[in-house]
Structure 1
Amino acid sequence: MNPGETRTGPLAGLKVLELGHYIAAPFCTHVLADLGAEVIKAEPPGGDPFRGWGAAVDGNSVWFSVNGRNKLCIELDLKRQKDIALKLAERADVLVENFRAGQLERLGLGPDVLHRVNPRLVIARISGYGQDGPYRDKPAFGAIGEAKGGIRHLTGYPAGASDLPPPRCGISISDDLAGMYAAIGLLAALWQCDAPGAAGARGRGRVVDVNLVDSVFSLMEGMLPEHAMDGRIRQPFGAALPTAAPTNTYPCADGKWLCIAGNSDLIFGRLMREIGHPALADDPRYRTNGDRCARRNELDSVIAAWTRTLPAKAAEERLEASDVPCSRLYDIADCVSDPHFQARKSVLEIDDPLIGRTFHPGPAIRLDGERPEAVVAWTGPKVGAHTDFVLHELLKLPREMA
């Protein structure tokens, strides 16, 4: 598809301006673009620094192939070309940014200025700590959001089990969460702006304030009321689930691991019968989830003794035949080769003109009637690939303004 052609999807017609870099704001607009929105990504001269992260082919980031897909990428120096930024904001429905709090104002592009040129503009602001509060001006990246939001404290093993620091979860979860929350927030603001009967003043733009720390903190489950109840502080629990048992990850004969979730009474019974311990299914010591949590170590030892006798795939097949939730721990190669991922087109095979044949994730959101493979109109382009098209065909600016 050429950039000038009409996109399809539920957000077709929505115009988004991204003043984003690295992960959080670009992930937000990645979600919107996959749903059909027109996204113009304004990058500083030389491009988003994110383009230099991770593996590359001939200097072209393979990650940006995904994160920049379906976006119109232009080079724009916000310090020298503020007038063009305002022109872009004037035609947009949504602006998404993830500068440090206050940076947009220092550039002369704060919400007051933007709403003067476009009163209906919804502005999604993603920062480390939010647009107010005593930590507003502190710098932060995703790892800091994890640390301050509470998740990094939980991603290790119980005290004394390891002297290593608590690990990160393996992906930039605080950035991705903030990006998703920003997408939800701006869609809510658009609804409030346009929907008949929606609360609030119709036709008025809003500012959506999302930050890395709150995005992580929002996932802390029951820990706040637990702490209020008796001062308890949930501690790292390793691979087990502290609120249900037996749920853990168990070693197998081939050196691989199998995750088993025997969370309910019925599933626990099926699990015990399948692994050769039918008496435990009816043992009063394990009747309720609370009973099982209190004796989880006993149950984990029984289950691990069974999984150690089988390769992970064989153990998985046995348990699945008994309708027990379980899974081997997949790496990316397992995902690519799995028939379920293939059938649902969760892995898309893509021809990228910059990096060649590659894989992209399919859409996580599926609407009936939408073909998953149609989500990729084009892959992440070179820096400034669409500058001429956006400035002179969309904005109709004279050449001397570029």
Structure 2
Amino acid sequence: MNVETPRPSGTGPLRGIRVLEMGQLIAGPFCGQLLGDLGAEVIKIEDPENGDPMRQWGQATVKGSSLWWSVLARNKKSVTLNLRTPEGQAAAATLAESADIVVENFRPGSLEKWGLSHEELSKNNPGLIMLRVSGFGQTGPYSAQAGYGAIGEAMGGLRYVVGDPSTPPSRVGVSIGDSLAALFGTVGVLAALQERHNSGLGQVVDSAIYESVLGMMESLVPEWAEDGIQRERSGSTLPKIAPSNVYPTADGQWLIIAANQDTVFRRLAAAMGNPRLADGPEYSTHTARGERQAELDELVAEFSLQFTADDLVELLNENSVPVGKIFRVEDMLSDPQYKARRSVIEVDSTDYGTVTMQNAFPRLSRTDTTVRWAGPELGQDTEAVLTQAGYDRGALTDLRDKGVIR
């Protein structure tokens, strides 16, 4: 695909919204991905030399391009600009004049140093909304520190409670801190868009990674502050929530069984052939089951080991007990639910031919989310976007000669 190839328009609810993405790695760009999936036009600014480092991240590459990049940069246009040059800063400011949203996740103060702060950009575009994603937020004594997702996960309380109690604090197997900051940032952007209908004005959305993690930590804070209870690592369970765990099967698999609600546990007891288990004081209430979590898990495990995974899933589904296999990707690709909803799709790509990836979520009944193309080649939309912004061929040649664009 070259710069002359027309891009398919989005059909989602954000069709007509223009986003200027100036971040890199995950926290800012994941927000750009979400907005693009929702139909926005996302113009991603990349350094002309190497582009976003995410082009090389991940465990698998094709022709030197990361498969992770194909997902994170989908539905985006790639424009190269060296933001550390006056010419690049001027071009970015010009693009911001027609943007609805700017997304950035540089260290706080960077945009101010480049003359690209919200205060400056909004002089020519009062309705501009700027999402600023950072480790610690734009204010406070830590704001100027480097704040990667891992640090935010630790500071927000997640790392301490993840893992087995016999091991050091663990991490979730994906970049959850960055992704949560992008999700909270996206919610803030959508709220700011709605508010703009009333005021006509934009504003800054300040999404800190540690606060985004903290926002997901349930009752962790009041449990300690009001009752002195520190939640600890608990492996595959949640304390006092029983039975809700992974249980072994006769064919060496593990199933999730979640029967901690009173009515559901009664149905599980019936499926186990022991309906009276739900009648006695030891297990009849949520609180009682929580107090006897370990012994109840042993009973359920003894039951689950009598069946193969498929047979146990069938039995528990017949009894309306929530149960599920622990999916790997190969399970997803063959699963009928995934197929029926097209949860995984194939997307055309110049680098990969086609690439299989997760679809766009959530689903909307009338203006649905879509994946229009995979992550673009570096700078492939530079000329088209800057020409639309008023740069003629001579100006583009000058920028190229100076190394401002690629």
So what's the TM-score if we normalise by structure 1? 0.93
Shift of residue 66 of structure 1? 1.2
Match of 1:398 among 392, 396, 399: 392
Aligned residue identity for 1:350:
V
Match of 1:289 among 286, 289, 294: 286
Match of 1:48 among 44, 49, 52: 52
Q: Which whole-Å CA distance do the structure 2 matches of 1:67 and 1:228 have between them?
A: 39
Match of 1:378 among 373, 377, 383: 373
Which residue does the alignment assign to 1:69?
Answer: 74
- Contact 2:347/2:373 (<8 A) preserved: no
Which residue does the alignment assign to 2:158?
Answer: 151
Aligned residue identity for 2:52:
D
Which residue does the alignment assign to 1:317?
Answer: 314
- Contact 2:348/2:373 (<8 A) preserved: no
Q: Which whole-Å CA distance do the structure 2 matches of 1:183 and 1:371 have between them?
A: 17
Shift of residue 302 of structure 1? 0.5
Match of 2:169 among 159, 166, 169: 166
Which residue does the alignment assign to 1:277?
Answer: 274
- Contact 1:3/1:72 (<8 A) preserved: no
2:92 is the counterpart of 1:95: no
1:103-118 → structure 2 map (5 Å cutoff): 103-118=110-125
Aligned residue identity for 2:188:
G
Match of 2:38 among 35, 38, 41: 35
Aligned residue identity for 1:332:
V
2:12 is the counterpart of 1:12: no
Q: Which whole-Å CA distance do the structure 2 matches of 1:257 and 1:291 have between them?
A: 25
SS in 1 for 2:123: helix
1:159-198 → structure 2 map (5 Å cutoff): 162=166, 164-195=167-198
2:88 is the counterpart of 1:84: no
Relative to structure 1, the CA distance from residue 126 to residue 3 in structure 2 (aligned partners, 3 Å threshold; closer, same or farther) is: farther
Shift of residue 401 of structure 1? 3.1
Q: Which whole-Å CA distance do the structure 1 matches of 2:55 and 2:7 have between them?
A: 24
Shift of residue 251 of structure 1? 1.6
Shift of residue 217 of structure 1? 0.4
Q: Which whole-Å CA distance do the structure 2 matches of 1:318 and 1:386 have between them?
A: 54
Shift of residue 165 of structure 1? 2.3
Shift of residue 239 of structure 1? 0.7
Structure 1 portions without partners, runs of 5+ = 196-201
Q: Which whole-Å CA distance do the structure 2 matches of 1:302 and 1:123 have between them?
A: 54
Q: Which whole-Å CA distance do the structure 2 matches of 1:204 and 1:353 have between them?
A: 40
SS in 1 for 2:69: helix
Structure 1 stretches of 4+ with a deviation exceeding 4 A read 1-5
Q: Which whole-Å CA distance do the structure 1 matches of 2:216 and 2:10 have between them?
A: 34
Q: Which whole-Å CA distance do the structure 1 matches of 2:77 and 2:115 have between them?
A: 24
SS in 2 for 1:117: coil
Shift of residue 371 of structure 1? 5.7
Structure 2 portions without partners, runs of 5+ = 397-406
2:237 is the counterpart of 1:234: no
SS in 2 for 1:286: coil
- Contact 2:162/2:169 (<8 A) preserved: yes
Count of matched residue positions in the alignment of Structure 1 and Structure 2: 389
Aligned residue identity for 1:391:
L
SS in 1 for 2:298: helix
- Contact 2:360/2:371 (<8 A) preserved: no
- Contact 2:13/2:368 (<8 A) preserved: no
- Contact 1:86/1:117 (<8 A) preserved: no
Shift of residue 370 of structure 1? 4.5
Shift of residue 117 of structure 1? 2.3
Q: Which whole-Å CA distance do the structure 2 matches of 1:3 and 1:318 have between them?
A: 52
CA RMSD of aligned residues (A): 1.5
Shift of residue 53 of structure 1? 0.3
SS in 2 for 1:359: strand
Which residue does the alignment assign to 2:347?
Answer: 350
Aligned residue identity for 1:399:
R
Which fold has the larger relative contact order, with Cα–Cα distance below 8 Å and residues 6 or more apart in sequence?
2
Relative to structure 1, the CA distance from residue 380 to residue 191 in structure 2 (aligned partners, 3 Å threshold; closer, same or farther) is: same
Deviations 1:346-373 (A, max 9, x none): 111222221123212112211113566x
2:214 is the counterpart of 1:214: no
Shift of residue 5 of structure 1? 4.9
Identity of aligned residues (%): 45
Q: Which whole-Å CA distance do the structure 2 matches of 1:255 and 1:145 have between them?
A: 37
SS in 1 for 2:45: strand
